[in-house]
Amino acid sequence: MSEPAPLDRFRQLMAELPLVAILRGIRPSEARAVGAALVGAGWRLIEVPLNSPEPLASIEALVAAHPDALIGAGTVLTPAAVRDVHAAGARLVVSPNLDLAVLRQAVDLGMVALPGVLSASEAFSALGGGAAGIKLFPAEMIPPAAVKALRAVLDPEALLLPVGGISLDNLAAYRAAGASGFGVGSSLYSPGTSAGQVAERAARWRTAFGATP
């Protein structure tokens, strides 16, 4: 049986646990252990930002070790970078901004694209260009009230993932406003965080997410 297409896999994993682990600063030597901690806690959407040390090597290690996860790259800013991460095995492209050339390249390669947006105009452009969902970034500038307003005008099926400043304290407010899921960074992993600590934090996030409406 063939593997599901990346977009189908993404939707399946979002339905299971819509939390994307952002491993900014991770090194290749840590990738397998941290990935195992996340997958063991039920997290299967993982991104390595390209401003991390040797990000493509970390992506390759995660792809090889965790075929049941969808591994991607974050801070993807150019079409060339999209091609590089695709060659490394990543099938998820996350950007802090909306660059239509980056989005087109990801879509052309059959990848899952989550561009960053800060306005309704950008959100409609991203979804119209083939984005699998939109990264609401930085979430500090898009409070729950703004997410609710966006949700009222976008396609009800559109996936909205606030990123930046999301914590266990404001998780419920964003979900009540219509957030589909979240990207979780420094409260889950930062340079120096052990795999054991990641496992504990990932379990807390999963429990908190399951406890919110």
Tell me the pTM.
0.96
pLDDT at 54 over 90: yes
Catalytic residue numbers read 47, 135
- What is the SS3 assignment for 154? coil
- Whether 48 and 26 have beta carbons less than 8 Å apart is answered as yes
Q: What confidence tens digit (pLDDT) does each residue in 57-115 have?
A: 999 999 999 999 999 999 999 999 999 999 999 999 999 999 999 999 999 999 999 99
- Whether 9 and 44 have beta carbons less than 8 Å apart is answered as no
Task: Report the percentage of the chain scoring pLDDT > 70.
Answer: 98
Q: How confident is the prediction for the chain on average, in pLDDT?
A: 96
- What is the SS3 assignment for 46? strand
The phi, psi pair for 166, rounded to 5°, reads -80, 130
User: Residue 142 has which token pair?
Assistant: 């898009």
Q: How confident is the model at residue 159 (pLDDT cuts 50, 70, 90)?
A: very high
What dotted CATH number matches 6-211?
3.20.20.70
